[in-house]
Amino acid sequence: MKSHRFCTALAAAILFASCSAEQHISRDVKKTFKNSALIRQYRVGFALYDPESKKMLYQQDADRYYTPASNTKLYTFYAGLKILKDSVPSLRYIEQGDSLIFWGTGDPSFLHSQLKNRKALDFLAGSPKKLFYAPGRYTGSFYATGWAWDDYNDYYQAELNELPVMDNLVAVRKSPTGGLLVSPRLFTSCFEKNPEKKGDFSIQRAYLENRFEYPDTLVPDKFEQQIPYKVSETLTLNLLSDTLNRPVHILPRSMPSYARTIFGAHRDSVLKQMMLPSDNFIAEQLLLVYADQAGLELNTGKAIAHITKTYLAGLPDKPQWADGSGLSRMNLFTPRDMIYLLDLIWQEFPDKQKLYDLLPAGGKSGTLRNAYAKTDQPFVFGKTGTLSNIHNQSGYIRTRKGKTLFFAFMNNNFLQPTAEVRKEMVRIMTGIHDNY
């Protein structure tokens, strides 16, 4: 009897202590937000969640919609965990007589500059049959909904297609002889000097064609630039032929249901390359890969609709989801949507360290490397999201006492420098780590 009373009293004491700790965190975080002179000047949505008690510890406008920027990649990341198995499908193909006919899947890892995946290329190179590329699976525009057309020359906005080659970018650097070294080499003849081009040395592509101009001046030492190229079926064919050093022909043909699959890079290596440097190209192309795996036409909108209906029906607020990377300002999510998603991702990883390895880590890796103090033992793991007047972080925070909490911190419509907003956000998150 005494033992039973003791256990009951102990359980009550633990429960009280737990509730007291939760109230303490909630009260202190609320006070921190109230006393922040900076974040009172613009729209801030915040949510802090304890997965052990399954309680929201603090919310500030967590049911309001915010532009997530690259926090959107967390949705693309989760979809990859659910849809892809071990590796990313790189090509679909059939063999017919003396011909090998192949279709794209949207795979961003095909000859990707960092992932360096050659499996599909080696498959094509090793085939003794005539090669035929069958285009037409991608049914979208070269940009996702809501993208800014005047960013077309910037590396982070490569065009979309069903068979991307070499990041859909032209990489240019100073050659040992002082000129320009262009890769893929096929584009070399597309570059020309423009004596009227003034200012800092840079390369500008014509908007609707692969014509690149640069100043008629000396190329600066260590010059490097990546420029999106204008995609087309003919260009894809020429790039494949040039890379394989053998003819590749176009054959208009719909893909049959029995087409086989060549797999490329490992799934987690592709997801990590998307998350750590916040690679927009990979994020966008992965949505097309997901559509391929779901048996859909390669279309961003159809992929998003399938993912939302199949895997995200329980979101507390209906999102407006426009693209895979977050470049579109038409994306709208609430902080409590982000918390729900973080919980879904959390459940996919029995080994939490494996999850942390795939995400930027505060003070250590990816886009969070320089945000927090440098350390070998980071306490924040998550995703940043930045556009002009927008800066967000969503992810996981480990406290000094060993608790793991989920957070979504969304800052929109500010006029201050992003560095000031980031500094205040880091100050608040570091305080949560230090004090609980």
Q: Is the pLDDT of residue 17 over 50?
A: no
- What proportion of the chain, given as a percentage, has pLDDT over 90? 92
CA atoms within 13 A on the CB side of 233: 12
> What tokens were used for 432?
């949560």
| Banded pLDDT at 219 (limits 50, 70, 90) | very high
Taking CA 199 as the corner, what is the angle to CA 198 and CA 202, rounded to the nearest 5 degrees? 95
Q: Rounded distance, CA 289 to CA 83, Å?
A: 9
Rg of the chain on CA atoms, in Å? 25
Q: Rounded distance, CA 106 to CA 390, Å?
A: 29
- Domain endpoint, select from 214, 230, 246: 230
> What tokens were used for 93?
């193909």
Q: Are residues 273 and 115 in contact, defined by beta-carbon separation less than 8 angstroms?
A: yes
Is 360 part of a structural domain of the chain? yes
Q: Are 282 and 402 members of one domain?
A: yes
Q: Are 430 and 289 members of one domain?
A: yes
Is 307 part of a structural domain of the chain? yes
Q: Are 334 and 406 members of one domain?
A: yes
Q: Rounded distance, CA 364 to CA 371, Å?
A: 9
Q: Are 296 and 409 members of one domain?
A: yes
pLDDT digits (tens, 9 = 90+) for 344-381: 999 999 999 999 999 999 999 999 999 999 988 999 99
Q: Are 68 and 210 members of one domain?
A: no
Q: Is the pLDDT of residue 193 over 90?
A: yes
Q: Which domain holds residue 344?
A: 26-81+275-435
Q: Looking at the DSSP assignment, which residues form a beta bridge with residue 181?
A: 173
Residue partners of 181: CB distance under 8 A and separation at least 6? 172, 173, 174, 175
**Cα–Cα distances in Å, from 243 out to 20, 216, 246, 318?**
65, 30, 8, 45
Tell me how many domains the chain contains: 2
Distance in Å from the first CA to the final CA of the chain: 36
The confidence score (pLDDT) of residue 16 equals 45
The confidence score (pLDDT) of residue 1 equals 52
Q: Are 424 and 311 members of one domain?
A: yes
Q: Is the pLDDT of residue 300 over 50?
A: yes
pLDDT digits (tens, 9 = 90+) for 223-280: 999 999 999 999 999 999 999 999 999 999 999 999 999 999 999 999 999 999 999 9
> What tokens were used for 300?
């961003």
Is 350 part of a structural domain of the chain? yes
| Banded pLDDT at 4 (limits 50, 70, 90) | low
Q: Are 280 and 384 members of one domain?
A: yes
Q: Are 283 and 431 members of one domain?
A: yes
Is 405 part of a structural domain of the chain? yes
User: For 106, which DSSP code?
Assistant: -
What CATH number did the domain enclosing 392 receive?
3.40.710.10
CA-closest candidate to residue 57, choices 336, 380, 434, 311? 336
pLDDT digits (tens, 9 = 90+) for 50-96: 999 999 999 999 999 999 999 999 999 999 999 999 999 999 999 99
| Banded pLDDT at 15 (limits 50, 70, 90) | very low
Which amino acid is located at 69 in the chain? A
- What proportion of the chain, given as a percentage, has pLDDT over 70? 95
Q: Are 410 and 327 members of one domain?
A: yes
